[in-house]
Amino acid sequence: MSQIYAFCVYRFDYRGSNLRIRARKALHCCF
């Protein structure tokens, strides 16, 4: 789970646009 979480967060962080909003979407997508 840690690797998947980190991977999704890193992917959304790579865009660097609306990090918090994208982070939440990543969480829903990952979990």
The predicted structure's pLDDT at residue 19: 59
Q: Which segments of 1-31 are extended strands (E)? A: none
DSSP structure class, residue 31: -
Counting beta carbons within 10 angstroms of the beta carbon of residue 30, is it exposed (0 to 12), middle (13 to 18) or buried (19 or more)?
A: middle
The predicted structure's pLDDT at residue 20: 62
The predicted structure's pLDDT at residue 31: 47
Per-residue pLDDT of the chain (31 residues; tens, 9 = 90+): 566 566 556 555 555 555 566 666 666 555 4
- Compute the half-sphere exposure of residue 11: CA atoms within 13 Å on the CB side of its CA: 12
